[in-house]
Structure 1
Amino acid sequence: MRASLNTQQQEALRYIDGPLLILAGAGSGKTSVITRKIAYLIEHCELPARHIAAVTFTNKAAKEMQSRVTQLLSAQQTRGIMVSTFHNLGLHIIRSEIATLGFKVGFSILDQEDSRNILRELMHRRTELDDKLIDVIQSTISNWKSSLLSPEAAAKAASSTSEHSIAALYQQYQQAMRAYNAVDFDDLLMLPVQLFQNHSEILSRWQNHIRYLLVDEYQDTNKAQYELVRLLVKQRRAVTVVGDDDQSIYAWRGAKPENLLQLKEDFKDLKVVKLEQNYRSTGRILRAANALIAHNPHVFTKSLWSELGPGDPLRLICTENENEECERISCEIIDMRLKRRCQHSDFAVLYRSNYQARALEMKLQAHAIPYEITGGQSFYAKTEIKDVMAYLRIIVNPDDDNAFLRIINTPRRQIGPTTLEKLGSYANQRNVPLFHCIKEFGLAERLEPKSLEKLHRFKEWIDRINQRLYNDNPIDVIREMLDDMNYYGWLQQNASSDHVATKRWQNIEFLLEQLSQMLSPTDKKYTTATETVEGAIAKLALRDLLDRNEDATTQDKVQLMT
């Protein structure tokens, strides 16, 4: 971190008299400005940290921001500050206002796979919708939520028979989510906005709580995120947003770079400060970038410059085919390592689509060049982690049918598909979650005594764990649960070797360590509320959705990425 800020950075840091847009090009030191502005608000403006919130888009960015703030201020000074992603902020609001929203404590956060399973089940009851279109339908509903369209509004806006059918499915999907006491990723933004729009007293309370808001990567906000920010800062207008329309790459998932322009409409006194000095790249790179960016439509104009000198000349290399291209890349890496003593980790290869990595991988392997594909399987997407998370979800939220169906035979309990089909049919008729149906007399009339006994044993076991989870040490209870069902033995049965099973068990140990840290009294630096078991599990579920291999590798490997 540089010791001093340049003139424009100083101006952005000190301006607190109204809404501020920091137009920050790549490598212009925006994170330093945000973190130092937080310190400025606390130290010079004497604003308590508990009234400051800073939001960004990824866990990695939030952790980086949080880390830098701790380097500038003491633990006492930062107590209560909220540095998080948009979705974590939304989760915090939902948990705080759970009674008004009509959810029960321990609600589940469903990932994309769980959401798709619910939609698929609902689609089976609607013959006019083709199962093959489930990805399109899921994306359509997601976009509607990002645009703050309720099922009723989506139905009114529908312009075709298929859109009317999807809107009707959207209505059923939301009803199912309520029945499961669950929310999906998009609900974490839509629900807080709807809450604030419909309950002025709650909005007023949150406006008083968050007295200064800082937002990073503003060009990537969708309508729901923009409206959430607008509502929170509407009263005090104490907001700093950092953005660059030239860096907007998420329009495909609802991001609206024109939100930067909308700021000028909603905040007539908006001040704009441009950060144009680049601390990352050399002159030749910036001149080439400026020339290319000049062709883009702009909300605001800027021109990046650097004091790092001209740098090496840029090279454009043309090859005959894909094989020659990959060979040339490999040879360039070898040559640079020999001549400049570079590490493998000094190199990155960018490509447009994942399929292009295949030929490159083969060529790198042929030359014994170690590499890593960034964006591989997330830790929270691993089978063993999803299994344990499903157990935790059903324990704190018995209404979660997706979690129930994942774990009922993991490990195997000899509860067959016929039993589950009858249970599902009965639950649908009663419109009651699967777990709650198990002890009902009506189900006993449909199942064989042995099958019913297995379900009863499972429910009683889960109920006992639930009771102990709140009375004993939660981590000890979870470990005993895993021992009771011999989950390690299950891993050994389904792994290709004992080594693989051990690695998977180590992943579970890491998950429990994360949960333990979240429940620990020492993990209160950035929150004023005592973390509950339900809250910790909800946050872990959200990490499942947000963490996609964000942490940079420390190994000496060439990085391959889109």
Structure 2
Amino acid sequence: MTEDFFTRKQRQIGVSLNPVQKEAVLRTEGPLLLLATPGSGKTTTIMMRIGYLIEEKGVHPSRIKAVTFSKAAAADMKERFRRFFPEYPEGSVGFSTIHSLASQVMADYLRQRGIGYRVIERHADEPDAAYPALHKTQILREIHNSLTGESIAEDQLEALTTYISYVKNKRIPPDRWDETECDVKEAPSILREYEAFKKSGTDRLLVDYDDMLEIAYRALSEDRRLLAKYQRKYDYVLTDESQDTSLLQHEIIALLVQAHGNLCVVADDDQSIYGWRAAEPRYLLDFKQAYPDAVILKMEHNYRSTKHIVEAANAFIKRNRDRYDKNMTTGNPAGEPIRITSLPDYKHQARYVAERIMSAGRIGDSAVLYRNHHSSVALVDTFDRLGIPFYMKDGDHRFFSHWVVEDVLNFMRMAYTDRRPDLLERIYQKFNAYITREQMEALKRIRNNESVFDNLLRHVELRDYQPKLLEECKATFASLREMSPKQAIWTIRANLGYEKALEKRCERLGFRRDTLIGILNTLEDIADGLETLEAFASRLKRLQAVMREAKFRKGEEAVTLSTLHSAKGLEFDRVYMIDLIEGVIPSAEDIKKFENGNRAPMEEAVRLFYVGMTRAKRELELLTYRMKDGQKAEESRLVSHIRRIRDSLAGPGRPTAAASVEGPKPKPVKRIVAGADQLQKGVRVRCRGFGDGEILDADEEDIVLRLDTGIRRVPIRKCLEEGLLERIGPQA
């Protein structure tokens, strides 16, 4: 009978399973952990298992529950089942997310107790127009503002919501909330206020997605009748992508299958990449402790990638200790060796990738993968300039509304009108005029439509050092109008002291300095080649628009741009992994924790890199560079490891044809000022972006230059690190 099922399905839908896949289909009773390596036919096996339960075991479809991590994954499983078994009506098998299941349990539990509730968390395309203020993010904004006196930035808000989900899903008690790291310094206090606020309503309990899980777990733990109801509802439970599941989610499933134990967990511990979101790979490693009678099967045959990619990825992931020992193999041809490209500077990367894609054939077969969303901005700018269409599943256009971007635009707006106190109010604490809050309030009371700087000088009480600073700032703002956007950004950063102000805010509020400086550097890259400030503002609007439009290009002939996290489950003929340097992957935090004896974050970085590698079917190229933003960049240790693996797999005497490829060599620059001892008064210099001039003075921090564009004060560190000054004239 069993052979009839497999033979019949091969004839009907062309599906043929290997021995391990067949065993996973046939072993229906009791707990099963199915470890599925990348490209091993996991979803096909799941569908065949569900079909076997229905057609051969006589299980009614409604008695089967298949739970997965995301809405997209649940929809994909539902569609795949429809294609395999079209004779069963839609919805006959319960495909859903864990949150959807928890929502049903919670609703039953609260209804029985006569407790009304309102969900305060929705997706961006599901606004609650009737109660806009009762939204999780809005509540957190107001609590943050109340506790700190500061508005919360979007990146900090994201960090705060991630922290809250982590604490809840890890089931960390309130007295230990302070032990969990968060970039938002007041996070534990904000969370306490947030929890109190949700329970303070007189008519309804306010719940977010994490509360759904918490309440559902409590309901199933405390209410025996409710637990029995859901246990009787499903005879077979299957969870997919279980390496992405939190401790709280695992415990809900454990309660659900307690009576019959018919649980099939499909996962790959080597693809667990959501530790920061409370995913619990340890659960998989301890599966036999939770289910002593469990069977563990390993699907290790990769049908997706070439032999070169599979062998390198298989050897690479073994550097991790906390994992099941698996050996991914393939019967596919060897293909091209992994290509490792080292470019001289970060600035060459986006253009290089674009040219490689354009010369490779169909662009729709290519994907560019990166760890951080900010990496996509330079790609979007370059691809748009070159007319290369691209698709972004998870495009994060919040970059363009980031407060640093808005600050820079406000500085530029001040160049055209310095008569608006409201404009000055947005940036007065972020440049070196040292205007106080009291002075700003006094200025706002003056309504004569004159220059804000003149009004400060004439009508507001100032400290002794401020008049000269204000006069200099007024002149600098006026000069911005005549500069190119790139010169203007550089002047805002250096002469107006914006970069120093950012560093102080990082110290005070917990922002990440490298993130904020990276935004400024990206803005300079976007400004490159533009002639006016208006053109720069228009360019930002254009890029924001094309990034928004990019999510609608799915299925079109377009390059896919994606974070490594969002690429999981996808595959492409050609994959380019970019920004592979120390400090990005692994991150500076990963490295710091690793050096202090905590291996977990580094192991997750390895898994993330592995996920990126295994998206490639035919060609894989890893990109690194030696300089970024004027500072030396080190090749990621993970790339170095892949190079050693690749070369050892090639064997002695065998060519690594697509081995390390050096990008264009940087042109040698003569007479660059490389040390502070070369900054003597009277020396003639050429300042990149501003032209020729002469050194007037220098102290420990800054150098004063008389240039063709006026007198400039420039940070010495920036000049030396970025090679901005070149000695010229007879004194050179």
What pairs with 1:120-519 in structure 2 (closer than 5 Å)?
Answer: 120-122=141-143, 137-149=160-172, 153-155=173-175, 165-166=189-190, 168-176=192-200, 179-337=203-361, 343-376=362-395
**Whole-angstrom CA distance in 1 between matches of 2:116 and 2:83:** 39
Shift of 1:116: 2.5
Shift of 1:191: 1.4
Change (3 A) 1:37 1:362: same
* Structure 2 runs not aligned, ≥5 long: 1-12, 125-134, 398-549, 564-732
More helix by share: 1
Change (3 A) 1:78 1:258: same
Aligned to 1:556: 557
**Whole-angstrom CA distance in 1 between matches of 2:88 and 2:292:** 37
RMSD: 3.1
| Amino acid paired to 1:364 | F
Structure 1 position 119 matched with structure 2 position 120: no
Shift of 1:268: 0.4
The CA deviation string for residues 487-529 of structure 1, in whole angstroms up to 9 with x for no partner, is xxxxxxxxxxxxxxxxxxxxxxxxxxxxxxxxxxxxxxxxxxx
**Whole-angstrom CA distance in 1 between matches of 2:81 and 2:146:** 52
Shift of 1:134: 5.8
Does structure 1 conserve the Cα–Cα contact (< 8 Å) formed by 2:34 and 2:267? yes
* Structure 1 runs not aligned, ≥5 long: 338-342, 379-548
Aligned to 2:100: 88
Output the TM-score relative to the length of structure 2. Answer: 0.49
Q: Percent identity?
A: 31
| Amino acid paired to 1:201 | R
**Whole-angstrom CA distance in 2 between matches of 1:164 and 1:377:** 27
| Amino acid paired to 2:175 | A
Q: Could you say what secondary structure the match of 1:306 adopts? A: coil
Change (3 A) 1:274 1:234: same
**Whole-angstrom CA distance in 1 between matches of 2:217 and 2:98:** 12
Aligned to 1:526: none
Change (3 A) 1:359 1:164: closer
Shift of 1:47: 1.2
Shift of 1:176: 4.1
Does structure 1 conserve the Cα–Cα contact (< 8 Å) formed by 2:231 and 2:257? yes
Change (3 A) 1:178 1:248: farther
Q: Could you say what secondary structure the match of 1:54 adopts? A: strand
The CA deviation string for residues 255-298 of structure 1, in whole angstroms up to 9 with x for no partner, is 01111023211100110000001111111000110121010123
The CA deviation string for residues 360-414 of structure 1, in whole angstroms up to 9 with x for no partner, is 2333234322223331369xxxxxxxxxxxxxxxxxxxxxxxxxxxxxxxxxxxx
**Whole-angstrom CA distance in 2 between matches of 1:99 and 1:288:** 54
**Whole-angstrom CA distance in 1 between matches of 2:201 and 2:123:** 13
Structure 1 position 23 matched with structure 2 position 39: no
Return the index of the structure with the highest Cα Rg: 2
Aligned to 1:11: 23
Q: Could you say what secondary structure the match of 1:317 adopts? A: strand
**Whole-angstrom CA distance in 1 between matches of 2:23 and 2:356:** 43
Shift of 1:78: 6.5
Aligned to 1:500: none
Output the TM-score relative to the length of structure 1. Answer: 0.63
**Whole-angstrom CA distance in 2 between matches of 1:102 and 1:225:** 25
Shift of 1:225: 0.7
Structure 1 position 61 matched with structure 2 position 36: no
Q: Could you say what secondary structure the match of 1:4 adopts? A: coil
Does structure 2 conserve the Cα–Cα contact (< 8 Å) formed by 1:177 and 1:183? no
Shift of 1:199: 0.5
Does structure 2 conserve the Cα–Cα contact (< 8 Å) formed by 1:60 and 1:550? no
Aligned to 2:485: none
| Amino acid paired to 1:51 | R
